[in-house]
Structure 1
Amino acid sequence: MKSLPCRPHDLLFVRLPDRFDTGGAWPGWLDAAWLMQAPLVVRREAAPGSLLPVGARGLTRSQRCKGYVQRDAVARCVTPEMLARLHLRAVRSDECQSVLPPLRALAAMAPRLKDLGLAWGPTGGAGFYLASGLPVLHADSDLDLLVRAPETLPAWIIDRLLRLQDQQACRVDIQVDTGLGGFALNEYARGGRLLLKTAHGPVLVADPWRMTDAQREAA
């Protein structure tokens, strides 16, 4: 795993759960048995050396814990794009039937997102559930999606994504990752400056694909 470039939203299954370092005691809901089945989520933060910034999550929204893990403690990395491919195969074979609105929305959107030629995948609770099978999704859960876009997205793609997310059975939150950072699609669509989340902190930018030297320093 040392050479694997883990990115924000990737899910890491660890073989050495005791190497998850929070800088203090673990919360009561978290233990080694949970971390043997529940992946850690890579956070957007600059970390020194072989440390990876990660977060643990439990079964409820209030159960979140930030920390770090050494790369050599990671057994497997699951990316949002990998989950998208697995889900698309399930959709094609009619194995993806669910009463949960986030999974129904994902099944409806997946073929259309593939047709747009984008690198994308589910994150948040849906991604965590698809990767682990743990029951973290509920009827009122949102669907979080990540779109990788190292180059400026054309207006027609933005429009198509906005219409797709507005036509679903649950709230859909699309985050766009430019490589420099990540931003919310809805915020970009409103126009004006927006918040770009970078590894060194959030920065207000006019164009999330073009950061000035001053903005880089501020981040």
Structure 2
Amino acid sequence: MDFRPHDLLWLDRPDAFVPAGGRPACLDGEGPVWLDGAWLARAPLVVRREAVISDRVPVGARGLRRNQRCAGYAWAGALVRHVSPAMLAQRVADDGARFASAAVDLPCVAALLALASRLNALGLEWGPAGGVGFWLASELPVLSPTSDLDLLVRAHARLDPAVIAVLNTLQESAPCRLDIQIDTGVGGFALSEYAAGAGRVLLKTARGPLLLADPWTALEAA
């Protein structure tokens, strides 16, 4: 199966995750090890934007706190569950009432519930990423009242300017900090940077960043 950046993956055994650089474990800023077998049994790994080598999937592990992050690789043969941002968006559409109580204390969840129907009406493939996506998929307590909402829109064809304008309006009027990333299939870029019309935008690809006036030209070249 092909996995895409921001997809969430679970392992059948903790040792199938190998930290980048061969370090035995990733430490948080205070010293104690947080990335252990018990955590990996519950928490998904996030697919990173990096070229795939053999059967190793580039992933990142995250803990409960913002400073708990560890880049690494997962053996493809040990993956037992896969959830994409689009699947999480469907979960919200099917069972949004389940998350209503959490929205009282978490503006990022309230924003997701409020925006979901408007995003669905645009006919785009979209979904929550970042901490909100991680929380929806795992139910681990990684969110706080100040957490951002990160949304991913997959658009392998150039988006109509009217759609860009609607997305930008949603981003500017959200009740919390909202960051929308557009994924072209070759790389990802920030909607806010593109909508600002500054000339060139930074497209993050598996082989490094590119500065482009039109981020979809990289897809056409590929």
TM-score if structure 1 supplies the norm length?
0.93
2:30 maps to none
Taking the aligned partners of 1:26 and 1:149, their CA distance within structure 2 comes to: 36
Superposed CA offset, 1:141-187 (max 9, x none): 00000000001111110110011112221000000000110000000
1:167 alignment partner in structure 2: 173
One-letter amino acid of the structure 2 residue matched with residue 193 of structure 1: R
Cα-to-partner distance string for 1:53-88 (whole Å, 9 max, x where unaligned)? 000000000000000011011101100000000011
The alpha-carbon deviation at position 48 of structure 1 amounts to 1.0
Q: Of 75, 96, 99, which residue of structure 1 is paired with 2:99?
A: 96
Aligned to 2:130: 124
Tell me by how many angstroms 1:34 deviates. Answer: 0.2
Q: Which whole-Å CA distance do the structure 1 matches of 2:57 and 2:155 have between them?
A: 23
In structure 2, what is the Cα distance between the partners aligned to 1:70 and 1:95? 34
2:16 matches 1:19: yes
For this pair of structures, how many residues does the alignment match? 210
- Cα root mean square deviation, aligned: 1.4
- Alignment match, 1:177: 183
In 2, Cα distance between equivalents of 1:61 and 1:21:
20
Distance in structure 2 (CA, Å) of the matches to 1:9 and 1:17: 20
How far apart in 1 are the matches of 2:141 and 2:53? 33
Gaps of 5+ in 1: none
Question: Paired residue for 1:50?
Answer: 55
Q: What is the CA deviation profile of residues 172-213 of structure 1, one whole-angstrom value per residue up to 9, with x for unaligned ones?
A: 000000011000000001111110000001111111000399
Separation in structure 2 between the aligned mates of residue 212 and residue 11 of structure 1, nearest angstrom: 24
1:206 match: 213
Unaligned runs of 5+ in 2: 27-32
Q: Distance in 1 between matches of 2:52 and 2:77?
A: 15
Q: 1:84 touches 1:121 (CA, 8 Å); kept in 2?
A: yes
Instruction: Assess, with a 3 A threshold, how the Cα gap between structure 1 residues 58 and 155 changes in structure 2: closer, same or farther.
Output: same
The 5-angstrom pairing of residues 129-144 of structure 1 reads 129-144=135-150
1:8 counterpart residue number: 5
Is the 8 Å Cα contact of residues 184 and 219 (structure 2) preserved in structure 1? Answer: no
Residue 158 (structure 1) aligns with: 164
Runs of 4 or more consecutive aligned structure 1 residues displaced over 2 Å after TM superposition = none
Higher helix share: 2
**Structure 1 residue aligned with 2:86, among 65, 81, 97?**
81
